[in-house]
Amino acid sequence: MAPSDDLRRWYGHDPALFAEFRRRYADELREPERAAALTHLGEAASRGTITLLTATKDAARSEAAVLAQLLRAGATDEAGDEADRPGDPACWLKRVCPSCGTLADADPPTTCARCHTAIPAD
């Protein structure tokens, strides 16, 4: 389910390219084998909490963020109101420091405990 090597290299985690990366990655996820894997992941998410991992420090602009968005959209369409679903959200991207990648303890976070960078609310 990872982005293709060509797409990953093209993107290079440049924030200015994220919107186009998201579009191209979503296109890749429509390929039959990847679409089947995404369906499987969505089924797992419908049964309970899943955790998406990424090695990037900017998790909000990563393949995991794209996957989380697609899974949330699919889960909301099929399951109705997310408030009726048990467990934690599929990912905690809002709790990741944009500078150092540390996961904040507080929810909602305001400042990173490690590097003291402000963590945006969005």
Task: Give the residue with greater pLDDT, 13 vs 119.
Answer: 13
Strand blocks (E) in the chain: none
CA–CA dist 64, 53 (Å, integer): 7
Please tell me the predicted confidence (pLDDT) of residue 62: 93
Task: Give the residue with greater pLDDT, 7 vs 108.
Answer: 7
- Which contacts (CB < 8 Å, 24+ apart) does range 92-101 have? 93/59, 93/60, 93/64, 93/65, 93/68, 94/60, 94/119, 94/121, 94/122, 95/119, 96/59, 96/60, 98/57, 98/58, 98/60, 99/57, 100/57, 101/56, 101/57, 101/58, 101/59
Span 2-20, pLDDT tens digits: 999 999 999 999 999 999 9
Per-residue confidence at 91, pLDDT binned at 50, 70, 90? low
Q: Would you say residue 76 has pLDDT above 50? A: no
Please tell me the predicted confidence (pLDDT) of residue 87: 47
A 10 A CB-CB count for 5 gives 8
Span 33-73, pLDDT tens digits: 999 999 999 999 888 888 988 888 888 999 999 999 888 88
